[in-house]
A and B are shown apart, each in its own frame.
Chain A
Amino acid sequence: QKEVEQDPGPLSVPEGAIVSLNCTYSNSAFQYFMWYRQYSRKGPELLMYTYSSGNKEDGRFTAQVDKSSKYISLFIRDSQPSDSATYLCAMRTQGGSEKLVFGKGMKLTVNP
């Protein structure tokens, strides 16, 4: 079993839809959970991160962590064509030198 599982999609939605992106993980020691957005031919850009469990909101984006289920989600409200990108989840344990573990990435297309 991979440490981090993410459905690679692709996912296609109409503009204005609510998008839900998810990852599951197996390592209960993960404490930091991140979402990156990667546009075509660009480097990944950190969208947001959460520490331990709970929700975090930033504009149209909400990140949720459910440590009991080892499940994280990213919700995008009122999706826009500019949200079309690949979204990667990543996570790490508490130690400052521990490497990030990435999901495969989900390719999202928002159609106008």
Chain B
Amino acid sequence: SAVISQKPSRDICQRGTSLTIQCQVDSQVTMMFWYRQQPGQSLTLIATANQGSEATYESGFVIDKFPISRPNLTFSTLTVSNMSPEDSSIYLCSVGDGVAEHFGPGTRLTVT
């Protein structure tokens, strides 16, 4: 399966600032997704990153807060904007193979 990397692996940020998380895949993929995993919780889908068009956001998530870019078939970014402590979480990107999804290692974000 595809090898997925994320940068940064972790960060501590001040409230009101923004952080951009990068997701790089070692092969071209059609489906890329961004998830949030809050401490002790399961995964919540934020959006589907579409190549060449706007991301498709799930209920409760908006583009102004979580802008996503997908410039090509191997790369995507998720920005967490105007952060608050409630945004402290693990952010994961994944790629779909038509059946299952394969996840990156995650970015652990702490907002102080």
List chain B residues, Cβ under 8 A from A99.
33, 45, 48
Is A102 a contact partner of B43 (Cβ separation < 8 A)? yes
Residues of chain B at interface, number, CB under 8 A? 21
List chain B residues, Cβ under 8 A from A103.
42
List chain A residues, Cβ under 8 A from B4.
43
Determine whether A61 belongs to the interface, using a CB cutoff of 8 Å to chain B.
Answer: no
List chain A residues, Cβ under 8 A from B102.
46
Residues of chain A at interface, number, CB under 8 A? 21
- Chain A min CB distance to B3 (Å): 12
Given contacts A88-B42, A105-B42, A100 and B108 within 8 Å (CB-CB)? no
Is B106 a contact partner of A100 (Cβ separation < 8 A)? no
**A85-98, CB under 8 A of B: which get 1 and which 0?**
00010100000110
List chain B residues, Cβ under 8 A from A49.
99-100
Is B92 a contact partner of A100 (Cβ separation < 8 A)? no
Is A46 a contact partner of B43 (Cβ separation < 8 A)? no
B-side residues, CB < 8 A to A, are 1, 4, 31, 33, 41-43, 45, 48, 92, 96, 98-106, 108
